[in-house]
């Protein structure tokens, strides 16, 4: 690395920063979101967000994806960088800075969870290091606000699903209730799903028609689905 800086005064270098890649891995579990944690074998070990030391060789995204694969033995349905967290030194690794990623994993796909790994409810997370606590908070907020939910929701569902299941997935990701009629209107306008001939009965009540993900553009292009909709 060139020992220059773009017109900025150069401080005396102390040392190269140490750097970790951390992943906030989230999965739907019933009516809630669960977050993936790991902890060391020893007794009284604290839960941590899974992380790995960053080295010069790999791209950050592939390291993050590898962490998810190693711990859950499944590929994330969605993976996005959250940002770099460096304030304070309080990270399980002691790294100077940490690049955080948010990953979404489909429900039940992670059959072979690593030992010492566990899904914990997002609303009741264990005590973490300050840096990982901030990452987790921002990561859950990013799921609610930053991502485009349409393509993700469908990757978290089976190939066919009821509109009720789809709405529940949206509500889980957005973290708020949606209005049923408005949800279906917006969905119809978005041309994202098409009905199948199948129906599924949950045991009581009227059976629900099954739909599949089939994005099409119609006249005037696909309308944006707003989903501001509140109950």
Partner DNA sequence: TCAATAGTGTCTGTTAGACATTATGGA
Partner DNA sequence: TCCATAATGTCTAACAGACACTATTGA
The answer to whether the beta carbons of residues 109 and 149 sit under 8 Å apart is no
Given 79, 134, 208, 222, the residue binding DNA (CB under 7 A): 208
Binding-residue pattern over the window 168 to 207 for DNA, x denoting contact by CB under 7 A:
-----------xxxx-xxx--x---------x-xxxxxxx
CA distance 168 to 173: 9
Selection from DNA, its own copies, none that 216 binds (CB < 5 to 8 A by kind) is: none
Q: Which is nearer to its own copies, 96 or 165 (CB)?
A: 96
Selection from its own copies, DNA, none that 19 binds (CB < 5 to 8 A by kind) is: its own copies
Selection from DNA, its own copies, none that 64 binds (CB < 5 to 8 A by kind) is: none
CA distance 34 to 24: 10
Selection from DNA, its own copies, none that 206 binds (CB < 5 to 8 A by kind) is: DNA
Selection from its own copies, DNA, none that 150 binds (CB < 5 to 8 A by kind) is: none
**Could you tell me the smallest distance in angstroms from the CB atom of residue 40 to its own copies?**
8
**Could you tell me the smallest distance in angstroms from the CB atom of residue 225 to DNA?**
8
**Could you tell me the smallest distance in angstroms from the CB atom of residue 139 to its own copies?**
13
Assign residue 172 a region: left if phi > 0, alpha if psi is -120 to 50, beta otherwise? alpha
Return the residues of window 120-149 that contact DNA according to CB under 7 A.
none
Q: Residue 160 interacts with DNA (CB under 7 A)?
A: no
Selection from DNA, its own copies, none that 9 binds (CB < 5 to 8 A by kind) is: its own copies
163-174 helix and 180-190 helix, angle to the nearest 10 degrees: 100
**Could you tell me the smallest distance in angstroms from the CB atom of residue 183 to DNA?**
8
**Could you tell me the smallest distance in angstroms from the CB atom of residue 199 to DNA?**
6
Return the residues of window 210-229 that contact DNA according to CB under 7 A.
223, 226, 228-229
Q: Which is nearer to its own copies, 97 or 106 (CB)?
A: 97
Q: Which is nearer to DNA, 39 or 184 (CB)?
A: 184
């Amino acid at each position: 690395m060139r020992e220059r800086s773009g017109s900025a005064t150069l401080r005396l270098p102390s040392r190269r920063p140490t750097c970790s890649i951390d992943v906030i891995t989230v999965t739907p579990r019933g009516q809630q979101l669960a977050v993936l944690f790991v902890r060391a074998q020893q007794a009284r070990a604290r839960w941590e967000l899974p992380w790995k030391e960053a080295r010069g060789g790999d791209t950050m995204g592939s390291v993050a994806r590898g962490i998810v694969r190693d711990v859950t033995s499944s590929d994330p349905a969605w993976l996005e960088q959250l940002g770099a967290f460096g304030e304070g030194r309080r990270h399980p690794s002691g790294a100077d800075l940490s690049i955080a990623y948010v990953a979404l994993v489909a429900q039940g796909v992670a059959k072979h969870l690593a030992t010492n790994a566990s899904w914990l409810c997002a609303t009741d997370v264990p005590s973490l290091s300050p840096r990982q606590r901030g990452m987790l908070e921002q990561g859950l907020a990013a799921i609610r606000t930053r991502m485009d939910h349409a393509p993700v929701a469908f990757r978290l569902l089976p190939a066919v699903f009821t509109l009720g299941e789809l709405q529940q997935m949206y509500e889980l990701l957005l973290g708020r209730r949606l209005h049923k009629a408005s949800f279906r209107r917006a969905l119809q306008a978005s041309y994202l799903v098409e009905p199948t001939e199948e129906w599924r009965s949950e045991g009581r009540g009227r059976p629900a028609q099954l739909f599949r993900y089939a994005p099409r553009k119609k006249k005037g292009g696909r309308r944006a689905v707003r989903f501001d909709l509140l109950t």
